[in-house]
Structure 1
């Protein structure tokens, strides 16, 4: 049972616990603000809560948490995406007497992800998770987890309005407060235990070092699960009463100019940006010469940078670009403060502050500086971990102070081995102290640091040893960084099991290297810079020092180039070219190096890169939403191109203006294949296919969404007018709307062809139920006759959808089913696609006009042709600024493009194109 609630109204001048921090912030600075920018592509607004409102919000959440009836001190694993949710969840846990453990993004590799979740469950002796609906999908494959949805917790909290100082128990300074997980990306994570005392000691010293006051404005875009995001950029400024703005990294990376606007508009004083993000920002911002001199950047005083070494040239380039973008460069004076810290030290505990433009850095990487108050550092002999080394001599870096963690959760052995006599914590890094300033030289631990996260080399090597083509135990991985590279990389050296001079060496190399790449990307999100195959007689086991790295890198380039040549396929469609350009921009590669067979994640795509791909793809292709899941499912250029592009190239020869033809109401473009071939050597023929046919593709949900998608696709394929747009049946109204959009963009549309469809379709759409849609599709596909379709409608409606399909399936000619490669499931799905198009048309009300319309009419589905023309189709005259044409074509609505009529229809259609000057 949860303990009975108690209250306290004491305001501490020097907080002793984190409870005191939030109480003091709400009491002293009630109107100061916590602001948030989410990762949503469609919500770019800033959501704000005052300290007072946030305090009330999290205390209500804490009260709702007590209904879980967990014992005080229980660990709750926090797995949330947005800063506000994470922040609120952490404070609610603290106030409720629980211990939050911040879980970073889980591995994309299912087996590794499940192993980690099981390890966490065993480590804590329980499995309580607070997450989102999406997070639940990722973790629910592991049996025995207690999962609470944050959305449900918020709903429960709305029932409560507790006192502004309510807590169910009194925290003590040495109580466990927050747990942080070490990366454990190739092994098992350790949980770093921080108490109220260690966190407050760190935050007090950090705030003094940063010069924070209650008037400071802080901007953070590091994930809240990272110790820098939560302690350094939230609790520290909250302790000093400083207002804060927290943004998902994607919100800045997708639009780097936003960072400048925020500094300008919000008078940001302090921010945090790891080296690899500084590098990405610099690459994007230095291109925007059109915005030089546009922003007031005088408020920014300090940018902290940690997680990995900061390249001096990157820091200088970033600072120089910021000055160029400033309205008054002379007022821009900020330091990029490289720092050293770990989860075990509450993030940064050693900092250097340097104006990299005023003072030339002495080394390739920025120095890391001096300890904050209350922290000590020393360099010792790594052999014994105790004997101090003289100034300017390399050795093991050790630190101690009140901000150092107290233990690893439930891991006494790891805790004991991390400390030496005197309370010195062994960081595992090699450093030099010169005149009191520290810089790193390497690591004792076998780790690679990629984008600020550490990965164990031995565990990675274990996985790589299993690849077919690798001689067991003759593989090693070495950290490797080229000058100016934005993050650390690595090289794989291995001896192949096959002859490198053999006739099939290229093929075997390609297969082996692809397997090695796949493992690396799945485990540490980054491919190796080089994979170096070395004959076994030239490679001594695990003895990197005896290898000539330059020689084997040169040999590997030669062999890899030969192995990749057969698989390189240059992008051909406009969509593939556009994606290749986006991929090249993200990975800083030449467009000519991107093959349609390239895999986004094998190129090194991270979760941040995927969000950038999503944002740039949505902007370029005019799509309202691209699911990250679809990027994960379709990471290869050619596959993702098919996801993005509704355009099918049915005929590409000829120099005349291309024709774009929109699908009929069934969504498919098969009907156009025979028609398109008659334009061979005359003009390209493109067909627009509805969304939803490919696995995982969402259906269109509105006419506006469909028209936006198709207009963007037409513009990608043909950048400038004049345009020729047509649509068959239902597709006619879509073509009309696309033509309107193009004209609104200032483009010339010379031809708008409308095939057997009136402008007003909403009433007809409301008449078609699922059964009617299924029978229309079946007739259109040649599965049933027109008479069967009419006769079956009444009889089928009382049946279930499955039963209706079974009846139609039995009536369908076997040869037609084989020809269309249909299955009952595919037919059902196709009916659903057609139904989605019907739903999009139910609210359609035509308006506006285009330069001119060409209407083609055949025998209608019902009624006479004369009535169809005069009372339905001629309504198009009200939507045409020029003189419309109405042309009779042979056949009926569903047969005007079949083999009996297509040649005649082509001649008529071609004549109208020529009449419009095309």
Structure 2
């Protein structure tokens, strides 16, 4: 595509003679469609009403419709009027209800954006209005249907024909004027606002179009809310610049039956789409049903896999499944982007060639973006060194909405934006290894949670439990007694395995953790897949998972003591050592068995003296560090004590010993 536009309004000028379709598939599977020509007309109607309502150039308008066609017309209407659109995702099913995440997000966006207007439909207004202050002016329009009809409170109604004297001229809008404000997910706190100019949107879209070789014959499909960076920028704005066919499917409708996405790929001959990495696991769970479907994915040219660290093993297995339905290996493209970068920015057109364990490379940045990896304040050039990923470029934000100078210094290193992602180079390509906020600190050392999760999958594979559909999440949780961070592993059960297999897998995890890191998890919790909380787009919701754990929702685990120990009363010595291990390791004793290895449970050289002191004080026996290393289980250690003395309560003579390094 050779034609370039300075603003989104110039881009929209090409729609008046474009009869290609934009489809919307709702939460019940109902399909609605309009043409680009009709979308332009609807946007003009919205723009006219906003201007009559008093909207001035640059003022912010929250756009919140349930239906994607209404949402798109609203966004473009705001842009056409000279305003700055703030898209918000109305609940996919249901309404705004106090206490829910969507409602809190609405409140946060209203507060942070300081928007002067809120554009919505009459039906949606009943759900939204209780949370909107009088400071915000409401403008109403229907979110669905064939025309803009219906009365609107305060500001009248949107009309079919709009006097031209209330419309801005294209020349009034400059490339560096604000066009959009998108908000980050807020997964680690309140969402942050990112303001994007016309130039940022246009140039990032054009670079993505060039990188993938997209044309007006490309068919785009999006199934994420139209406030997500991939859905709005890559799959709608990118399609809009080209005037290409696009389909928008309700997120909940897809997540309720993931194979529906493949059905739409096949039915509409889709060639460009996006899916977060977790979605490929959902597809694997539907493997038998997918195998039975008559599907063709031969038209797919770019299925971008991103949104989180990419699990190569699981994705590879899903790729084998989709390949049988015609998906070419070259069509699956790992990628990375952020709201703060305005679009997708790093892609790998050669899936799986460069890996680190089960993590695969996300490739190299597109033109216009520079990246660097920083460790201990220095730019890391070589391969294999994990550090903080920083970026700069013409589409990268320069500051968050309303941030203070102190907040700005946390997010920027000079002109470099600190992404919060941990990464390393391998063969010149980038591998995302985790998030900086996902760090476990022990004895002054930092350990990446993403790397630990990757290791756990390797340990499971070693124990013959290599299940690509397994859900696992590692979190750090504050201990309420001593404020120390506890390392907790949440892992999904499978229908086929019994308690013995889970114990075998758990022993492999603890042994592997001790071998690789020198510590292990304070707790390993086995949950049903349905017990993992998920976000509105289906990702595991770590914030809610952590809260549920702190609230005791998962405190239903049974004792780990093996079957052969159950049914008999433990001896006083066994109970004492259980309490000692529990106290020193800061673990619930019900999660320690008599055959658990002290060091596999997280014991290390710093904790050994405390164990030895407590054994001497309670049992009256001197045990050396070397003996604890040789006999690290409760049953083994007691057997050894009994063998070295007929009376376990008689203290043997102390021996000089060398320091044992563990």
Does the TM-score normalized on the shorter chain lie above 0.5? yes
Q: Once the 2 structures are TM-superposed, how far is the Cα of residue 199 of structure 1 from its aligned partner?
A: 1.1
Q: Once the 2 structures are TM-superposed, how far is the Cα of residue 127 of structure 1 from its aligned partner?
A: 5.0
Q: How do 1:127-276 and structure 2 match up within 5 A? A: 128-132=117-121, 133-134=123-124, 136-138=126-128, 140-141=130-131, 143-144=133-134, 145-151=136-142, 154-155=148-149, 156-160=157-161, 167-168=168-169, 170-185=172-187, 187-276=189-278
CA 354–127 in structure 1, closer or farther in 2 if over 3 Å, else same: same
Partner residue, 2:316: 316
1:34 aligned to 22, 25, 30, which one? 22
1:549 equivalent to 2:551? Answer no
Q: Once the 2 structures are TM-superposed, how far is the Cα of residue 485 of structure 1 from its aligned partner?
A: 6.4
Q: Once the 2 structures are TM-superposed, how far is the Cα of residue 235 of structure 1 from its aligned partner?
A: 0.7
5+ residue gaps, structure 1:
1-11, 449-456, 459-475, 499-516, 518-544, 558-583, 590-601, 611-635, 637-918
User: 3-state SS of the aligned residue for 1:338?
Assistant: strand
Q: Once the 2 structures are TM-superposed, how far is the Cα of residue 609 of structure 1 from its aligned partner?
A: 6.5
2:428 aligned to 428, 433, 436, which one? 436
Please give the alpha-carbon distance, in whole angstroms, between the structure 1 residues aligned to 2:266 and 2:165. 34
Q: Once the 2 structures are TM-superposed, how far is the Cα of residue 122 of structure 1 from its aligned partner?
A: 4.3
Which has a greater percent of helix? 1
Structure 1 contact 222–229 (Cα < 8 Å) conserved:
yes
1:491 equivalent to 2:493? Answer no
Q: Once the 2 structures are TM-superposed, how far is the Cα of residue 224 of structure 1 from its aligned partner?
A: 0.7
Please give the alpha-carbon distance, in whole angstroms, between the structure 2 residues aligned to 1:485 and 1:68. 52
User: 3-state SS of the aligned residue for 1:387?
Assistant: strand
Please give the alpha-carbon distance, in whole angstroms, between the structure 2 residues aligned to 1:229 and 1:223. 7
1:110 aligned to 93, 99, 104, which one? 99
Partner residue, 1:470: none
Partner residue, 1:344: 340
User: 3-state SS of the aligned residue for 1:279?
Assistant: helix
Q: How do 1:601-680 and structure 2 match up within 5 A? A: 603-607=532-536
CA 105–365 in structure 1, closer or farther in 2 if over 3 Å, else same: farther
CA 477–267 in structure 1, closer or farther in 2 if over 3 Å, else same: closer
RMSD across aligned positions (CA): 3.7
Structure 1 contact 286–321 (Cα < 8 Å) conserved:
no
User: 3-state SS of the aligned residue for 2:205?
Assistant: helix
Partner residue, 2:112: 123
Partner residue, 1:18: 8
Q: Once the 2 structures are TM-superposed, how far is the Cα of residue 416 of structure 1 from its aligned partner?
A: 4.9
Please give the alpha-carbon distance, in whole angstroms, between the structure 2 residues aligned to 1:198 and 1:90. 17
Q: Once the 2 structures are TM-superposed, how far is the Cα of residue 180 of structure 1 from its aligned partner?
A: 1.0
1:408 aligned to 400, 416, 438, which one? 400
Q: Once the 2 structures are TM-superposed, how far is the Cα of residue 274 of structure 1 from its aligned partner?
A: 0.7
Normalised by the length of structure 2, the TM-score is 0.63
CA 486–337 in structure 1, closer or farther in 2 if over 3 Å, else same: farther
CA 408–496 in structure 1, closer or farther in 2 if over 3 Å, else same: closer
User: 3-state SS of the aligned residue for 1:344?
Assistant: helix
Q: Once the 2 structures are TM-superposed, how far is the Cα of residue 135 of structure 1 from its aligned partner?
A: 5.8
Q: Deviations over 1:189-243 (max 9, x none)?
A: 2211111111111111111112101111111112111011100111112212321
1:298 equivalent to 2:289? Answer no
Q: Once the 2 structures are TM-superposed, how far is the Cα of residue 185 of structure 1 from its aligned partner?
A: 4.5
Structure 1 contact 389–395 (Cα < 8 Å) conserved:
no
Q: How do 1:686-725 and structure 2 match up within 5 A? A: none
Please give the alpha-carbon distance, in whole angstroms, between the structure 2 residues aligned to 1:387 and 1:226. 31
User: 3-state SS of the aligned residue for 1:273?
Assistant: strand
Please give the alpha-carbon distance, in whole angstroms, between the structure 1 residues aligned to 2:434 and 2:448. 15
Structure 1 contact 301–333 (Cα < 8 Å) conserved:
no
User: 3-state SS of the aligned residue for 2:359?
Assistant: coil
Q: Once the 2 structures are TM-superposed, how far is the Cα of residue 108 of structure 1 from its aligned partner?
A: 6.2
Partner residue, 2:560: none
Q: Once the 2 structures are TM-superposed, how far is the Cα of residue 72 of structure 1 from its aligned partner?
A: 1.7
Q: Once the 2 structures are TM-superposed, how far is the Cα of residue 53 of structure 1 from its aligned partner?
A: 1.7
Query: Number of aligned pairs?
Result: 471
5+ residue gaps, structure 2:
150-156, 442-446, 458-467, 483-489, 491-515, 540-552, 554-662
